[in-house]
Amino acid sequence: MHGVLIIDKPAGLTSHDVVNRVRRILHERSVGHLGTLDPLATGVLPLVMGNMTRLAQFYTSSEKTYEGVIRFGFATDTYDAEGQPCTPPQAVQLSLEQVRQVAARFRGFIEQLPPPFSAKKIQGVPAYKLARKKTEFTLKPVQVEIKEFEISGVENDRASFRARVASGTYMRSVAHDMGRQLGCGAHLESLRRTGLAEFTLADARALDELENAAAKGSAEDLFVHPRKVLPEFPCITATEEMIMRIRSGRTVNLPELTRARRVKVFQGQRELIAIATRVAGTLFHPKIVVAGASS
> Can you tell me the distance from the alpha carbon of 234 to that of 212, in angstroms, rounded to the nearest whole number?
34
Instruction: Provide the pLDDT for residue 293.
Output: 42
> Can you tell me the distance from the alpha carbon of 54 to that of 34, in angstroms, rounded to the nearest whole number?
11
Instruction: Provide the pLDDT for residue 181.
Output: 96
Residue 100: its H or E element = helix 96-104
> Can you tell me the distance from the alpha carbon of 236 to that of 243, in angstroms, rounded to the nearest whole number?
12
> Can you tell me the distance from the alpha carbon of 48 to that of 121, in angstroms, rounded to the nearest whole number?
24
Active-site choice (8, 17, 38, 77):
38
Instruction: Provide the pLDDT for residue 257.
Output: 81
Reported as a single tens digit per residue, the pLDDT across 169-219 is 999 999 999 999 999 999 999 999 999 999 999 999 999 999 999 999 999
**Ranges of the chain with pLDDT below 50:** 293-295
Instruction: Provide the pLDDT for residue 295.
Output: 37
Instruction: Provide the pLDDT for residue 135.
Output: 75
> Can you tell me the distance from the alpha carbon of 167 to that of 113, in angstroms, rounded to the nearest whole number?
14
* Burial (Cβ within 10 Å: 0-12, 13-18, ≥19) of residue 268: exposed
Instruction: Provide the pLDDT for residue 294.
Output: 43
Instruction: Provide the pLDDT for residue 120.
Output: 72
Instruction: Provide the pLDDT for residue 114.
Output: 87
Going along the chain from its start, the domains and CATH numbers come out as 3-62+198-224 (3.30.2350.10), 64-195 (3.30.2350.10), 228-289 (2.30.130.10)
Active site residue 77: no
Render the burial of 87-113: b for 16+ CB within 10 Å, e for the rest: eeeeebebeeeebbebbeebeeebebb
